[in-house]
Structure 1
Amino acid sequence: METNRNYFVAILLSVAVLVAWQFLYVSPKIEKERLAAEALQAQQAAQAPATGTGQSIPAPVTGAAPGDGAGIPSAMAPTTGMSRQDALAGSQRITIDTPALSGSINLAGARIDDILLKEYRETIDPESPNITLFSPAALNDGYFAEVGFIADAASGPAPGPDTVWTAAEGQTLTPSSPVTLTYDNGAGLVFTRVISVDEHFLFKFEDTIANSGEAAASVAGYGRITRFFKPTTAGIYVLHEGLIGVIGEEGLQEIDYSDVEDTPVMAMPKATAGWMGITDKYWAAALVPPQGAGFETRFAHFTDGRARYQSDFRSDAQTIAPGGSVTTQTLVFAGAKQVPIIDSYEEQYNILNFDLMIDWGWFYFITKPMFWLIDYLFKVFGNFGVAILATTVVVKLIFFPLANKSYVSMANMKKVQPKLEELKAKHGDDKMALQQGMMELYKKEKINPVAGCWPVLLQIPVFFALYKVLYVTIEMRHAPFFGWIQDLSAPDPTSLFNLFGLLPYDVPLFLMIGIWPLIMGITMFLQMRMNPTPPDPTQAMIFTWMPVVFTFMLATFPAGLVIYWAWNNTLSIIQQGFIMKRQGAKIELWDNLMDLFKPKSKKT
């Protein structure tokens, strides 16, 4: 019985760590994120987002040498205090217009620094502002992607952050109309850049360098994702937000903002495959250098005048013979981390582990299939909440044989409960004799007291995987269920302590005990009442109060996960009830429930 108790304690501790972490750390972070989002929304409203097409060129806002190191020109930029509209209007720009994106490209540096996501809004309110991903460097929330070149002194200047590219009038970048930019360095090198974009979030920079001079030229490429602010993050281990990349044999690199603040420059070994960028929970910006050629990667935090976070690369220099030319291709991702789109880019462009931009976690082999199952069922039913219910049924079917053995064991345990009580009365406080008597009884009745633990233990990874899917995938963001659940990735918005909205006041976050958490708690209580009562009084007390504790703690979890748990408990009660009754175990709670559905006989 000691082994049985240890298994239960291990289960309780594993789940308790998760719920305590969610209750003590995630809930305050969620509130902090909400306040930060409201402040950002107010700031963006004051800045009046707009796409500028003005022709005046301001003084350069980027520094020159000594640069950011590694020969890459500096991205340092002073804040100007101007509005977003003025910042956009004060530079020559090419408009971006796709089904998923709107914004513009700054011809100074050919920098993508103005991106709004058409398909996503700040809140579930359809009138709330669209998500702003990129902003000009002159603003407090400056954030951009840039691709440029570095040339040796003999080859003349190369287009960098201050270079104003030449473009034909009236060009608009759309999926069906790429734009062409040119730059002549006056020393024999002509740079031609064709920028294209697909209907989602991927830009393609195809650069051709032609050498019309009399001497060979040496030119290296660079690219960077630069962010001039530190966003509010959840700060939890289940989700990475910060600098990220997959660098050749070094594999996945997940670097928190605090990590790169402690180590300002993290240089990676040279690689010939991979990508790098900056990721948020649902959005990301990433660079894919020319694959097959050597490049060096850095993750950095610069504080020279204005703090900024940066993921960048510098490619090996190429020699361009007189009369010759070279062409390179760099990809820039800027948008939402939609799973099918990310996977399609990995396959189409052979990008090494590009799918790891989404934080699938340690249980990758469970988490991603779990997502595909939910996503497939969503396409069948048209509702992610219903898809979660259907997924629960599939999971129950997979574990059906093991669960049957578990419930048979519980039924046998229930049947010998009177004999256990006799042993307790016989041996009193002699725990050693009681343990020996119980082991002999289990052996005689052919009962394995540990058998009932295995289904729970094996379903813990499934629980974590589902939690991960609901928490990190954008497909669940703002996905409605029915009634008051309009966002399965957020907690149930109702609360028992204001009578589910009937009383006109808001309650603190830790008292948001909604309808679905209560349903989950009730089903958990009913299921535990069907199990054999633990002989140890302390263990029995823990199991009695556990549904109450879980009701409070899981109230801050995503509503989709609470719905899953409540539905899973309900199916388990039905399955366990039938199996235990078939084994002849008496279940008072089950009998009382079944009596409610029996037709009452008429008295004569």
Structure 2
Amino acid sequence: MSEQKNMILAIVLCLLIIVGFQYFVEPPVVDEQASQQNTAESDQSNKPSPDANAPSAPGTVSAAKMSREEALKQANRVQINTPSLHGSISTKGARLDDLTLINYREEVDPTSPEIKLLSPAGSPNPYYAEFGWSAAAGTVVKLPDSNTIWSTNASELTVDKPLVLTWDNGEGLIFQRTYSLDKDYLFTVEQSVQNNTGNDVTLYPYGLISRTGTPETTGFYILHEGPIGVFNETLEEIDYDDLQEEGSRIIPTTGGWLGITDKFWLTALMPDQNARIKGRFTYIGKSDRYQTDYINQEGVTIAAGSNNTVKNHMFAGAKEVNLLDEYEKDLGVDRLELAIDWGWFYFLTKPLYFGLEMLNTLIGNLGLAILALTVVIKIILLPLAHKSYVSMSKMKKLQPEMVKLRERYGDDRQKLNEEMMALYKREKANPAAGCLPILIQIPIFFALYKVLFVTLLMRHQPFFGWIEDLSAPDPTSIFNLFGLIPWTPPEFLMIGALPLLMGLSMYLQQKFNPQPADPMQAKIFMLMPIFFTFLLASFPAGLVIYWTWNNILSIAQQWYIMRRMGVSVNA
């Protein structure tokens, strides 16, 4: 195969991967008819059932009739105040239904509102967690539910001050629920029952997370958002639309975790890691509601005159890598780190993350850390890249000879190939070696893309000048002269300064590579920088900075090698 075909093959491969991963997909559309068929039999209880083959579906939630602020006033509340969280717990149902993240804002402006994670029923998009007890079928026990009014003598939940809620069912059972919270995002939930009756009582603890409304997702194939969990050491990721179409999914397991994930935020239940549970993912079409829940398969027996307690955990906050790793280790929660979608190149993605994080700490600017990491990657790949660039320089030096051979044997393809191979062998040139830098860079590029796209490291981090958020595309556009013309171009014309620099660097790099002798191939190569300029214009600015800087370093390396070998750039 000629050097042109090899190079085109490498570029086509690169394009297929990039375009396939980058293109947007339509947000999930609720098939109301299918959803109602799957959930028409839903009852009015939020409690999973321990005895049924499938836990009973949760009850519907009424449509939003008030603002979030108004909904918060519908019940007495105990405030949450920690270094990382603001919010409150409703004494009605003892629900955890009001959380905002102190350290994360909706916009780059530090005075913009805190990220709202959980919201109460009755608000525009209810999203809450609830814990409780369920009884075996046929057992009549008065249990607390979502309408139960709990009593407490505390007005605030803090890191140093747990919240204790109590409810007496009036029939000899006293329920107590204690919420504790660390300085980050971990809730510890202890549920105890005092049995003052004359008989033993067996109950089944459960936990649930309910979310009404299909949230807007980023729309990327490369990132999962929606129901998620680890069951029996296996990661389960369920898209919102798949849950709508397929109905409830029940997975028995020992330990593990389950919840709902967004791009940067996570709400997850972590039962006792030694307990046998039934985990479930459910969609209720009538109310457009998603629920993840679990229930212990083995009941807790409270002997007459005694007390029994179960303890579980819940994560509600930002998906900070080091924090998730710490919780996974300290609590023994299986593979909690997979709440972050590290992707296929996990073995590259996570080391790149820690390397970038370390450089960011040392340098103090994430954009400069990306530049430094690129240099480190180039140094690591230097021996192989050097060999490839030497081979490309040889091919460029041989280009006049190859043109002569094509002119001499243009009509005899077999003879032309034989003479070409003889030329390569005589000059010790490998036409395929020039493709290696591109092929090697692809997995590294996507691993770094994952790091910059799915982790919080780059969110709202500034660079210099007009780049105030490295996780967002370059906000400028050449089509309004970078803001000099008071006009906002359509999205596909938002071609900023960084993508233009990237396209220019790609064009210059092509000048150092052997040029195709075929005119059509040459035209295709000339269009590649333009295509990539438009494609990368929608990429995060931090990734475009990496790509551009990588091109510049490659140009410098190729120039040095070609000069040493006496090859002209325009040869």
Residue 9 of structure 1 corresponds to which residue in structure 2? 8
Residue 241 of structure 1 corresponds to which residue in structure 2? 225
Is the Cα contact below 8 Å between 1:22 and 1:557 reproduced in 2?
no
SS of equivalent residue, structure 1 residue 439: helix
- Superposed CA RMSD: 2.0
SS of equivalent residue, structure 2 residue 433: coil
- Distance across 1 between alignment mates of 2:531 and 2:221: 23
1:516/1:535 Cα in 2 relative to 1: closer, same or farther (>3 Å)? same
CA deviation after TM superposition for structure 1 residue 522, in Å: 0.8
- Distance across 2 between alignment mates of 1:435 and 1:541: 23
CA deviation after TM superposition for structure 1 residue 154, in Å: 4.8
Give the alignment partner of residue 477 of structure 1, picking from 441, 447, 459.
459
Residue 265 of structure 1 corresponds to which residue in structure 2? 248
- Distance across 2 between alignment mates of 1:295 and 1:23: 38
How many residue pairs were aligned?
A: 551
Paired residue type of 1:311: T
Residue 364 of structure 1 corresponds to which residue in structure 2? 346
Instruction: Please state if 1:410 is matched with 2:392.
Output: yes
Paired residue type of 1:455: P
Is the Cα contact below 8 Å between 1:19 and 1:553 reproduced in 2?
no
Instruction: Please state if 1:253 is matched with 2:236.
Output: yes
**1:183-210: per-residue Cα shift (whole Å, max 9, x none)?**
2223333222221111111111012223
Q: Report percent identity of matched pairs.
A: 48
**1:331-373: per-residue Cα shift (whole Å, max 9, x none)?**
1111111111111111111111001001111111111111111
Residue 52 of structure 1 corresponds to which residue in structure 2? none
Residue 294 of structure 2 corresponds to which residue in structure 1? 313
Paired residue type of 2:552: T
Is the Cα contact below 8 Å between 1:154 and 1:217 reproduced in 2?
no
1:146/1:217 Cα in 2 relative to 1: closer, same or farther (>3 Å)? same
SS of equivalent residue, structure 1 residue 564: helix
1:331/1:322 Cα in 2 relative to 1: closer, same or farther (>3 Å)? same
1:71/1:460 Cα in 2 relative to 1: closer, same or farther (>3 Å)? closer
1:19/1:495 Cα in 2 relative to 1: closer, same or farther (>3 Å)? farther
Residue 30 of structure 2 corresponds to which residue in structure 1? none
Is the Cα contact below 8 Å between 2:82 and 2:158 reproduced in 1?
yes
Residue 527 of structure 1 corresponds to which residue in structure 2? 509
1:104/1:471 Cα in 2 relative to 1: closer, same or farther (>3 Å)? same
Residue 373 of structure 1 corresponds to which residue in structure 2? 355
Is the Cα contact below 8 Å between 1:72 and 1:150 reproduced in 2?
no
Is the Cα contact below 8 Å between 2:260 and 2:292 reproduced in 1?
yes
Is the Cα contact below 8 Å between 1:23 and 1:556 reproduced in 2?
no
Give the alignment partner of residue 386 of structure 1, picking from 364, 368, 374.
368
1:188/1:11 Cα in 2 relative to 1: closer, same or farther (>3 Å)? farther
Instruction: Please state if 1:90 is matched with 2:71.
Output: no
- Distance across 2 between alignment mates of 1:204 and 1:66: 21
1:202/1:527 Cα in 2 relative to 1: closer, same or farther (>3 Å)? same
- Distance across 1 between alignment mates of 2:443 and 2:84: 35
**1:539-589: per-residue Cα shift (whole Å, max 9, x none)?**
322222211111111111111111001100111111111112212222249
- Distance across 2 between alignment mates of 1:237 and 1:80: 31
**TM-score w.r.t. structure 1 length?**
0.87
Instruction: Map 1:122-133; keep pairs closer than 5 Å.
Output: 122-133=106-117
Instruction: Map 1:510-525; keep pairs closer than 5 Å.
Output: 510-525=492-507
CA deviation after TM superposition for structure 1 residue 230, in Å: 0.6
Paired residue type of 1:495: S
Is the Cα contact below 8 Å between 2:131 and 2:206 reproduced in 1?
yes
CA deviation after TM superposition for structure 1 residue 75, in Å: 4.4
- Distance across 2 between alignment mates of 1:500 and 1:80: 42
SS of equivalent residue, structure 1 residue 204: strand
186-195 or 556-565: bigger deviation: 186-195
Residue 286 of structure 1 corresponds to which residue in structure 2? 268
1:79/1:503 Cα in 2 relative to 1: closer, same or farther (>3 Å)? same
CA deviation after TM superposition for structure 1 residue 536, in Å: 3.5
Give the alignment partner of residue 143 of structure 1, picking from 108, 114, 127.
127
**1:4-52: per-residue Cα shift (whole Å, max 9, x none)?**
44543333223323444577527x98xxxxxxxxxxxxxxxxxxxxxxx
Residue 141 of structure 2 corresponds to which residue in structure 1? 156
- Distance across 1 between alignment mates of 2:59 and 2:80: 23
- Structure 1: unaligned runs, 5 residues or longer: 30-61, 590-604
SS of equivalent residue, structure 1 residue 334: strand
Is the Cα contact below 8 Å between 2:23 and 2:220 reproduced in 1?
no
- Distance across 1 between alignment mates of 2:86 and 2:209: 19
Paired residue type of 1:259: D
Give the alignment partner of residue 496 of structure 1, picking from 452, 460, 478.
478
- Distance across 2 between alignment mates of 1:575 and 1:66: 64
1:173/1:252 Cα in 2 relative to 1: closer, same or farther (>3 Å)? same
Paired residue type of 2:228: I
SS of equivalent residue, structure 2 residue 24: helix
- Distance across 1 between alignment mates of 2:55 and 2:249: 16
Is the Cα contact below 8 Å between 2:66 and 2:124 reproduced in 1?
no
SS of equivalent residue, structure 1 residue 166: coil
- Distance across 2 between alignment mates of 1:73 and 1:160: 15
1:104/1:65 Cα in 2 relative to 1: closer, same or farther (>3 Å)? closer
Instruction: Please state if 1:342 is matched with 2:324.
Output: yes
91-100 or 14-23: bigger deviation: 14-23
1:549/1:292 Cα in 2 relative to 1: closer, same or farther (>3 Å)? same
**Larger relative contact order, structure 1 or 2 (CA cutoff 8 Å, min sep 6):** 2
